[in-house]
Amino acid sequence: MTAEPMPLGSSGAGAVDAEPLDPLATEPPAARRERSVPRAGWMVVARKEFADHLLSARFVVLLIVLGLAAAIPLYFAADTIRSAASTVSGATAVFIALFWLPPHVTDTVQLPSVAGFLGIVAPLLGLSFAFDAVNGERAQGTLPRLLSQPIHRDDVINGKFAAGLAVIAIVLVAVIGFIAAFGIIRLGIVPAPSELLRIVLWVIVTFVYVSLWLAFGMLLSVLVRRAATSALIGFGIWLLLSIFGELITTLVGGFIAPLSGTLEQQYSNNSVQETIRRIRPDILYSEASRALLSPQTTDVSTPATVGAAQQASERIPSLLSLDQSFILVWPQVVALVAITVACFAIAYVRFMRQEVRA
């Protein structure tokens, strides 16, 4: 329908004619104005970004990469468990061992566990969907146009973040659901309800961890002008953490609190080093996922005193209940959430203060 432009409402007779037909006409002007400018602009932005993500090549590539990262250790872990399960009877929490057991490929070669592998690759997921969120719009010249639409400025960054979260959730659920199904078939064991619950909790914590990288990517996209640069910085930091992270924290820890002196000192310095390691979000995540996935884990920290170490060695090996496991990693989870919120908050504030023009 190509309607000819209508004469302007302020004086045009057409507007007066149309008035009784307009359902909004009976409402007071204030209510009409309210309706004409709804507040859910972020949902419109999120919907568009979400659709873009799902259709993007990144999405497919990440699904494959993550799927492989999970499937390869899973395959070998299943073999390891099967060979172990045939000799052991009455073992509990076998299914969930699929996720945390570092599998043997051969007698000497050991792979990281499924959880470990995912923990390394997952940041990619967060970074990929965020590193060009804002500076990409700038580069394309779409930002001024977007901001001149009747939405709030924060709708843009909120909508993008929400879309990123949704895509991450989809990828994680898809990949982990897939490997769980694969595990059920391979092992022929159906997970117990408590195991299922552990897996769900672990997925949630993984989601929080990936969100952290999403928020970090978002921050980079606000601070760095060029998308290529922010991608390079983001992936660089990810690589640095996952390859040299251990080396760096050990060096720094060794400098501040060397493991020397009396046994008592060594124990206390070790706990200082552990704290330093926990500045790294990947350590926080791996501790959280270890405790959540394997009920055998009764402690995520090494003992800080000689006495505590003795106590720990005398403890009867036991399985923790789910709530106990969760209490164990509560601080880690809170720290992950806090870092995520902090990253997003900085990105948010900086974005709100930036000039529209590049």
Partner 1 sequence: MTSGPRLARKRKIAPRRGDASAAPGGRNVGPDDTDELVRISTRRLTKRYGDLTAVDALDLDVRAGEIFGLLGQNGAGKTTTILMLLGLTEPSSGTARVVGLDPARRPLEVKRRVGYMPDSVGFYSDLSGRENLRYTARLNRIERDDAEAAIDEVLEQVGLTSRADDSTDTYSRGMLQRLGIADALVKDPDVLILDEPTTAIDPLGVTEILELLRDLVKKRQMAILLSSHLLNQVQVVCDRIGIFAAGKLIGQGSMTELADRFGDGTAHIEVGFEFDDDASAKRAPELLRAIPDVADVRPGARLLDPWIVAVRPPSAEGRVRQAILALAAAEGLHLVSLRPIVPSLEEIYRHAVARTLPAHAGAVQ
Judged by the rule CB under 8 A, the positions of this chain that interact with partner 1 are 1-12, 14-15, 17-18, 21-22, 24, 28-30, 32-33, 35-38, 41, 44-45, 47-48, 52, 55-56, 140-142, 144-152, 355-357
Give the CA radius of gyration of the chain: 26
> Which CB atom, from 37 or from 173, has the smaller least distance to partner 1?
37
> Which CB atom, from 144 or from 258, has the smaller least distance to partner 1?
144
- Shortest separation between residue 323's beta carbon and partner 1, angstroms: 45
Output DSSP code: residue 88.
-
- Shortest separation between residue 7's beta carbon and partner 1, angstroms: 7
Q: What angle do CA 329, 333, 339 make, to 5 degrees?
A: 145
User: Alpha-carbon distance 163 to 204, whole Å?
Assistant: 17
- Shortest separation between residue 10's beta carbon and partner 1, angstroms: 2
- Shortest separation between residue 203's beta carbon and partner 1, angstroms: 30
- Shortest separation between residue 27's beta carbon and partner 1, angstroms: 11
- Shortest separation between residue 341's beta carbon and partner 1, angstroms: 27
- Shortest separation between residue 136's beta carbon and partner 1, angstroms: 10
- Shortest separation between residue 159's beta carbon and partner 1, angstroms: 10
Residue with tokens 């570092």: 102
> Which CB atom, from 23 or from 193, has the smaller least distance to partner 1?
23
Residue with tokens 């330093």: 276
> Which CB atom, from 110 or from 354, has the smaller least distance to partner 1?
354
Q: What angle do CA 101, 333, 231 make, to 5 degrees?
A: 85
Which candidate, 125, 116, 351, 115, places its Cα nearest to that of 234? 125
Q: Long-range contacts made by residues 229-235, C-beta under 8 angstroms, separation at least 24?
A: 230/131, 230/132, 230/135, 231/127, 231/131, 231/132, 234/127, 234/131, 235/124, 235/127
> Which CB atom, from 128 or from 297, has the smaller least distance to partner 1?
128
Which candidate, 69, 77, 82, places its Cα nearest to that of 99? 77
In angstroms, the Cα distances linking 308 to 14, 120, 288, 329 are: 85, 32, 21, 19
> Which CB atom, from 25 or from 256, has the smaller least distance to partner 1?
25
> Which CB atom, from 45 or from 165, has the smaller least distance to partner 1?
45
> Which CB atom, from 157 or from 201, has the smaller least distance to partner 1?
157
- On whether the CB atoms of residues 320 and 299 are closer than 8 A, the answer is no
User: Alpha-carbon distance 298 to 90, whole Å?
Assistant: 21
- Shortest separation between residue 127's beta carbon and partner 1, angstroms: 20
Residue 196, exposed/middle/buried by CB under 10 A (0-12, 13-18, 19+)?
A: middle
User: Alpha-carbon distance 131 to 127, whole Å?
Assistant: 6
> Which CB atom, from 137 or from 195, has the smaller least distance to partner 1?
137
The answer for residues whose C-beta is within 8 angstroms of residue 159's C-beta and 6 or more apart is: 41, 42, 43, 44, 45, 46, 47, 48, 49
